[in-house]
Amino acid sequence: MSGTDDLLVEAAELAVEIGQGHPPTLLDVRWRLAGPPGRDDYTAGHLPGAVFVDLDTELCGPPGSAGRHPLPDPATLQAALRRAGVRQGHPVVVYDGGDGMAAARAWWTLRWAGHRPVRLLHGGFPAWVAAGLPVDTDVPAPTPGDVTVRPGGLPVLDADAAARLAADDRAVLLDVRAAPRYRGETEPIDPVAGHIPGAANLPAPEYVTGGRFASATALRDRFSAAGVTDGQPVGAYCGSGVTAAQTVLALHLAGRPDAALYVGSWSGWVADPDRPVATGAQR
């Protein structure tokens, strides 16, 4: 069973770690789907010593047939992480503007890349500020890191694997977008509305509120109600693989480190017009 000790860190706990002389590498990944760029927030104030890493251009590949936030090129990701000072085996803490989505995708990406000691600051930058902890505007120049990106640290679904999972009665594929998008009633971003046939809907606000996760017991109960049972393969997707990365983190907290992410998600699925699309409330 996964605990929270290697997944989440509270602001007060992180402040103690920073003050002990061997702080974790801090990555600021603040991001908004519709902008403005998170770098502006970073420039206005960030955790002391934190380095900004851009979700769109450094943690993800360019948008295209694989979705709006596809897997990054390993060499490109490695260069970005080394520029940010990420060192082999040294702890990393990621944080965002508070909703936990960009930080979860950063957490997922680093673990997928083989860097296990990475945690998410629970509640993000607002939690740090609310705790009365110091904020800095100086931009650090970190010593370049030596991390080596080794893809495969977390399970990944492509479109074919997602389709098989959704069609398997002994498995569950979670669509964590809002219910109207799942039902195909509206689609504000992608060109086609609906969901992957066989996927079950579990909107993200049902298991995370304001960027803070429920207890492991509450998470297990909520996922169980959505059809996720022990030993049953489980995967997740959203619009472009960001919110669903948060779902994978929640599943880890609930004791399911085998949960897979369909990185292309809906934006990747509908890039191929031959893929089937379902509408309505039923799987």
- The confidence score (pLDDT) of residue 3 equals 47
Average pLDDT, the chain: 95
Provide DSSP, 109-157. HHHHTT---EEEETTHHHHHHHTT---B-----PPP------S-SS-EE
8-state DSSP, 245: H
* 7 vs 226: CA distance, rounded Å: 23
Q: What is the CATH number of the domain that holds 208?
A: 3.40.250.10
Poorest-pLDDT segment among 27-41, 57-71, 133-147: 27-41
- The confidence score (pLDDT) of residue 2 equals 39
Domain check: are 189 and 243 in the same one? Answer: yes
* 157 vs 283: CA distance, rounded Å: 19
E strand or H helix at 26: strand 25-28
- The confidence score (pLDDT) of residue 37 equals 84
What is the count of structural domains for the chain? 2
E strand or H helix at 218: helix 216-225
Domain check: are 22 and 104 in the same one? Answer: yes
Q: How confident is the model at residue 4 (pLDDT cuts 50, 70, 90)?
A: low
- The confidence score (pLDDT) of residue 282 equals 81
Domain check: are 87 and 188 in the same one? Answer: no
Q: Does residue 2 lie within any of the structural domains?
A: no
Of the candidates 123, 113, 124, the residue with the CA atom closest to the CA atom of residue 84: 113
Domain check: are 20 and 122 in the same one? Answer: yes
Domain check: are 16 and 125 in the same one? Answer: yes
Domain check: are 256 and 194 in the same one? Answer: yes
Q: How confident is the model at residue 35 (pLDDT cuts 50, 70, 90)?
A: confident
- The confidence score (pLDDT) of residue 1 equals 31
Altogether, the residues listed in the chain come to a count of 283
The CA distances from residue 164 to 50, 159, 217, 244, in Å, are 41, 9, 29, 18
- The confidence score (pLDDT) of residue 85 equals 98
Query: Taking the CA atoms of the chain, what radius of gyration do you get in angstroms?
Result: 18
- The confidence score (pLDDT) of residue 228 equals 95
The answer for residues whose C-beta is within 8 angstroms of residue 229's C-beta and 6 or more apart is none
Domain check: are 164 and 114 in the same one? Answer: no
* 79 vs 54: CA distance, rounded Å: 13
Q: Does residue 161 lie within any of the structural domains?
A: yes
* 208 vs 222: CA distance, rounded Å: 11
User: What's the pLDDT tens digit per position in 130-184?
Assistant: 999 999 999 999 999 999 999 999 999 999 999 999 999 999 999 999 999 999 9
Domain check: are 126 and 174 in the same one? Answer: no
Average pLDDT over residues 6-11: 96
Domain check: are 111 and 58 in the same one? Answer: yes
Structure tokens at 176: 């964590």
Q: Does residue 283 lie within any of the structural domains?
A: no
Q: Which of 64, 96, 130 is the last residue of a domain?
A: 130
pTM of the model: 0.96
Q: Which of 130, 164, 199 is the last residue of a domain?
A: 130
Domain check: are 104 and 218 in the same one? Answer: no
Clarify whether 238 is annotated catalytic: yes
Domain check: are 112 and 171 in the same one? Answer: no
pLDDT at 120 over 60: yes
Q: Does residue 274 lie within any of the structural domains?
A: no
Per 3-state DSSP, the chain is made up of helix, strand and coil in percentages (nearest 5) of: 35, 15, 55
Range of the domain at 30: 8-130
- The confidence score (pLDDT) of residue 42 equals 98
Domain check: are 176 and 124 in the same one? Answer: no
Provide DSSP, 154-202. S-EE-HHHHHHHHH-TT-EEEE-S-HHHHHTS--SSSSS-SB-TTPEE-
pLDDT at 80 over 70: yes
Residue found under tokens 């800095």: 136
Q: Does residue 51 lie within any of the structural domains?
A: yes
Q: Does residue 145 lie within any of the structural domains?
A: no
SS3 87: coil
Average pLDDT over residues 83-100: 97
Q: Does residue 216 lie within any of the structural domains?
A: yes
Among 238, 242, 263, 270, the active-site one is 238
Q: Does residue 3 lie within any of the structural domains?
A: no
* 176 vs 200: CA distance, rounded Å: 8
